[in-house]
Structure 1
Amino acid sequence: MSTPISSTFATQLTQMRTEVLDRLRAQRGGALSRADASAQARDTESDDWAKAGTERDLAYALEERESAELVAIDAALQRVADGSYGLCVDCGTPIATARLHANPTAMRCVACQARAEQPGGTPTHL
């Protein structure tokens, strides 16, 4: 992928990274660590333990999703840095620019992604 296009995606990925980190901080209640936020939630009195448990589980699931997104963004930024951004990690062909605009963290072309998502499909690159 050409340098100007890669730098455009690098800017977008960096902005996405900042947004994910902001969401994680907000989910944790600001500067609180996960353990501190959990302890604080336990200390809050609630008559509805089922509701409190469900809310806690949802918060953990959201944080896990945000963490996975952050890993994908960091991997894409690494590909920008090493010059491989925009190339399929499985077959090496260029990933369509429209696909990268839709999903800047995409690491596979459409064909290889479809194979990886098939039951029993095994990506050649992990």
Structure 2
Amino acid sequence: MSAPTPETFAQQLQQLRHDLIEQIRQQRGGKIGRAEAAEDRHDIQSGDWAQFDGERDLAMALDQRETAELQAIDAALKRIANGSYGYCGDCEAEIPAARLHASPTTLRCLTCQERAERASGETHPTL
């Protein structure tokens, strides 16, 4: 990769990781999971099981999303360590620095990402 250096992206990824872990801790109010925190806040004896179930389902979905984000960050840090960071996993072209700054965990160049999304039917906007 040309400028910026992989160390620049490593710092950005480390900061993202730190911020995400801190956000999780603050939302959970400590080390318990969101589902347990929701259960503690909710008066189950009120009989509003539908609301409780909805809160628990949302908490579990957020946990899964945050876990996926942490895994993507860790995978990007491993790619930096092994020298493959910044190169498309499909076509091996160099990924532009602007794309990496916008989405530092990205695995593909824009062209390959769009192709992958069309193939899978995803409708997410790409960076």
TM-score by length of 1: 0.81
| Separation in structure 2 between the aligned mates of residue 110 and residue 50 of structure 1, nearest angstrom | 42
Describe the shift of the 1:43–1:7 C-alpha distance in structure 2 as closer, same or farther (beyond 3 A). closer
Query: Would the aligned equivalents of 2:6 and 2:85 in 1 still touch at CA under 8 Å?
Result: yes
- Unaligned segments of structure 1, at least 5 residues: 122-126
Amino acid of the residue matched to residue 94 of structure 2?
A: P
Count of aligned pairs between the two proteins = 119
| Separation in structure 1 between the aligned mates of residue 101 and residue 71 of structure 2, nearest angstrom | 18
Map 1:59-70 onto structure 2 (within 5 A): 59-70=59-70
Shift of 1:29: 3.0
| Separation in structure 2 between the aligned mates of residue 37 and residue 56 of structure 1, nearest angstrom | 5
CA RMSD between the two structures? 2.4
Describe the shift of the 1:119–1:23 C-alpha distance in structure 2 as closer, same or farther (beyond 3 A). same
| Separation in structure 2 between the aligned mates of residue 67 and residue 100 of structure 1, nearest angstrom | 21
| Separation in structure 1 between the aligned mates of residue 103 and residue 87 of structure 2, nearest angstrom | 14
Match of 1:20 in 2: 20
| Separation in structure 1 between the aligned mates of residue 37 and residue 14 of structure 2, nearest angstrom | 32
Amino acid of the residue matched to residue 25 of structure 1?
A: R
Match of 1:45 in 2: 43
Secondary structure of the equivalent of 1:119? helix
Describe the shift of the 1:51–1:40 C-alpha distance in structure 2 as closer, same or farther (beyond 3 A). closer
| Separation in structure 2 between the aligned mates of residue 120 and residue 65 of structure 1, nearest angstrom | 19
* Deviation larger for 17-26 or 37-46: 37-46
| Separation in structure 2 between the aligned mates of residue 38 and residue 69 of structure 1, nearest angstrom | 21
| Separation in structure 1 between the aligned mates of residue 81 and residue 93 of structure 2, nearest angstrom | 18
Query: Would the aligned equivalents of 1:29 and 1:37 in 2 still touch at CA under 8 Å?
Result: no
Query: Would the aligned equivalents of 1:89 and 1:107 in 2 still touch at CA under 8 Å?
Result: yes
Q: Deviations over 1:69-88 (max 9, x none)?
A: 00100010001111111000
| Separation in structure 1 between the aligned mates of residue 80 and residue 50 of structure 2, nearest angstrom | 45
| Separation in structure 1 between the aligned mates of residue 51 and residue 3 of structure 2, nearest angstrom | 50
Match of 2:101 in 1: 101
% identical aligned pairs: 53
